[in-house]
Amino acid sequence: MLCRIITGLVVWASNCLFTVTAFASLTTNMTYGVSPISHGIYDLHMTAFFVCCIIAAVVFSLIIYSLFKFRKSKGAKPAHFDENVVVEVIWTTIPFLILIGLAIPATMLLWKIHNTNESTMTIKITGYQWKWRYEYLDTGVNFFSFLSTPQDQIYNKAIKNKWYLLEVDKPMVVPVNTKVKLLITSDDVIHSWWVPAVGVKQDAVPGFINENWIYVTEVGEYRGQCGELCGINHGFMPIVIKAIPQADFNQWVVEQQKNRVIQEQQGNISTLPQSTLLKIGKMEYERNCAMCHQNNGQGLSTSFPALKNSPVVTSPLDENIAYVLHGVPGTPMQAFGKILDDTTLAAIITYIRQAWGNDVVNQNEQHATVAQPSEIKKIRQQMAGG
C-alpha cells in the first residue's frame, strides 16, 4: 500500500518536471519571460520546486503510514535502539547529492547571468530620484524616462488604466535577438533596475557600475520597476523595455539622433515668448516636479515644501535659478542643472514664478517673473567659473 502511494506521487511529480512551462501562465508563479536568462531562472526554479514536492511526498507518506500502522491502539511497541550507521549515512548522503544536483546548474546559470561577452551594443542606465536615464554608448542616443501615468489617476480623480504606475514617456528601445550589455549605476541613492520578463534585477549603486545583459527574443513591451526602496516616490519609477525588429531599431536610432540635433539647436535659443515658456514649463513641471511639489504647488510636508508663496520662488530670479541648478545637498531637492537643458529650466522657472499667485508676489517685490534660456546659461557659466 505504502509503495503504491509513494510510487504514484513520484510519478506525478516526475511528469510535472516535463511540463513546467504549463505553470508559466499562473499569476502566482514566476514569469517565464522572453530571454534565455529568464527561461533559465524559471526552469531552475521549477526544478527545485518539484524536487521539494517529491521529497515532501515521500516524507509525509512515511509519516502518515507510520501514524496509522504503528499506532498504540493496535498494540504497537516502540523499538529500542541507539544508532543505525547505514540509515544515518543514507539520510546524510541523499540530501548532499540533492544539493549538489541543484548547485551545479545554479552555478552555471549564475555565471551565464554575469557573462556580458559578445554583446552587440551597450546601454548605460542611471537611476535618479525618481526616473531613469538611458545612454546608448554606441550611437549617442541619450534620454530620461519618466513616469507618464496622469496625475488625476494617482490622486483618484480618474479611472486607473491597465498599466497604472507602469507606463513611461520614453521606453528603453532594443532590437530583438540582440545581446545588449547594461551598465547600471545611480546618481543619488541605491536603486535597482528590475524587469522580470528579461530576468534582470541589478542594483544601481552610486559610484559603482554593475554589469548585466539582456537578450529579448520576442517583439513587445516588457515592464518593471525600481526594486530597491529609494525614497518617498520609490513606487513611481517604472521601467519599460520596447523590443522591436532590427530594421525598426535602426530607424529609431536615426530619428533619435535627428531629435537630438533639434534639441541642441533649441538649447541655443537665447529668448522665447512668455506664452511658449509657460506652455513648456507647465508640461515639464508636471513631468519633473509635480510628484514632489504637487500639481497645485502645495508640496508634501516639510520634505517637499510648497512652491506657492515659496521664499525661493518669490526671491530674486538669479537666486531661484541657482537653487534649481544646484539643488540642496542633503535634501531630496536635486541639482537639475545636470539633468535639464537651459530652455527646459527657463520654462519651468517661469511657470512656477507665475503659477498659484506667485506672479502677484513677485510683481509686488519687483522681481522678474520670466526666465530666459540665456539667463540660465549665464548663471551656469558664472557658477562654473567660466
Please spell the DSSP secondary structure of 108-133, one letter per residue: HHHHHHT--TT-SEEEEEEEETTEEE
Nearest to 95 by CA among 44, 65, 54: 54
Q: Do 39 and 152 sit in the same domain of this protein?
A: no
Q: Do 186 and 109 sit in the same domain of this protein?
A: no
What whole-number distance in Å separates Cα of residue 1 and Cα of residue 17?
Answer: 25
pTM here is: 0.78
What whole-number distance in Å separates Cα of residue 197 and Cα of residue 243?
Answer: 12
Q: Do 138 and 157 sit in the same domain of this protein?
A: yes
Better pLDDT: 216 or 230? 216
Q: Do 189 and 252 sit in the same domain of this protein?
A: yes
What whole-number distance in Å separates Cα of residue 288 and Cα of residue 348?
Answer: 9
Q: Which of 91-105, 178-192, 321-335 has the lowest mean pLDDT?
A: 321-335
Residue 19 has pLDDT above 60, yes or no: no
Q: Does 281 fall in a domain?
A: yes
CATH number at residue 260: 2.60.40.420
Q: Which of 141-150, 235-244, 264-273, 297-306 has the lowest mean pLDDT?
A: 264-273
Q: Does 76 fall in a domain?
A: no
Q: Do 303 and 356 sit in the same domain of this protein?
A: yes
Calculate the CA 380 to chain-centre distance: 32
Q: Do 215 and 236 sit in the same domain of this protein?
A: yes
Which one of 232, 265, 298 terminates a domain? 265
Q: Do 176 and 247 sit in the same domain of this protein?
A: yes
Characterize the bridge pairing of strands 172-175 and 238-244: parallel
Q: Do 343 and 244 sit in the same domain of this protein?
A: no
Average pLDDT over residues 71-98: 85
Residue 163 has pLDDT above 70, yes or no: yes
Which one of 236, 265, 294 terminates a domain? 265
**What is the residue range of 276's domain?**
270-383
Q: Does 78 fall in a domain?
A: no
What are the residues whose beta carbons fall under 8 Å from the beta carbon of 310, sequence distance 6 or more?
A: 358
Residues 88-101 have pLDDT tens digits of 899 899 999 999 99
What whole-number distance in Å separates Cα of residue 119 and Cα of residue 331?
Answer: 38
Residue 210 has pLDDT above 60, yes or no: yes
Q: State the chain's mean pLDDT as an integer.
A: 87
Residue 329 has pLDDT above 80, yes or no: no
Q: Do 251 and 217 sit in the same domain of this protein?
A: yes
Nearest to 181 by CA among 236, 130, 123: 123
Residue 59 has pLDDT above 80, yes or no: yes
Number of structural domains (the chain) is: 3
Q: Does 358 fall in a domain?
A: yes
In terms of Cβ atoms closer than 10 Å to its own Cβ (0-12, 13-18, 19+), residue 331 is exposed
